[in-house]
Amino acid sequence: MVSFKDILDDILRVTCRDKSLVSIPFGVASLLGSVASLVPFITPPITADQVTLLKKDNIVSEAAIAEGRTLEGMGIKPTLAAAILPTYLARYRPEGQFTQPGAAG
């Protein structure tokens, strides 16, 4: 299982960003998302709906596996995120695709 923090760490690594991640309680995050969504000219760092989704694990249920409601069940072969993240995220590196891996911005 991959955590949300693991995903954020991968994004920071691939985009060559050296940023700190701060864990905040769900109540604070929900309040932040609710208040920020009321200000029309800013993009909130998180929305109240996203906080609601983060409160529960997003995993395939045993019932879905038994019924074949999985990627494999639909004939889709999963690809590792590590194999495709650089192709999607290179544009977000400090100098785009030309930033050398391992460089922090």
What tens digit of pLDDT does each residue of 65-105 get? 999 999 999 999 989 988 999 888 988 998 877 777 665 55
Tell whether 53 is covered by a domain: yes
Contact 10, 82 (CB under 8 A): yes
Q: Which range of residues forms the domain containing residue 91? A: 4-98
Q: What is the mean pLDDT of the chain?
A: 88
Contact 99, 105 (CB under 8 A): yes
Q: Residue 65 — left, alpha, or beta (φ > 0 → left; ψ -120 to 50 → alpha)?
A: alpha
Tell whether 105 is covered by a domain: no
Q: pLDDT at position 62, please?
A: 94
Tell whether 36 is covered by a domain: yes
Contact 17, 105 (CB under 8 A): yes
| Domains contained in the chain, number | 1
Tell whether 103 is covered by a domain: no
pTM of the model: 0.71
Tell whether 104 is covered by a domain: no
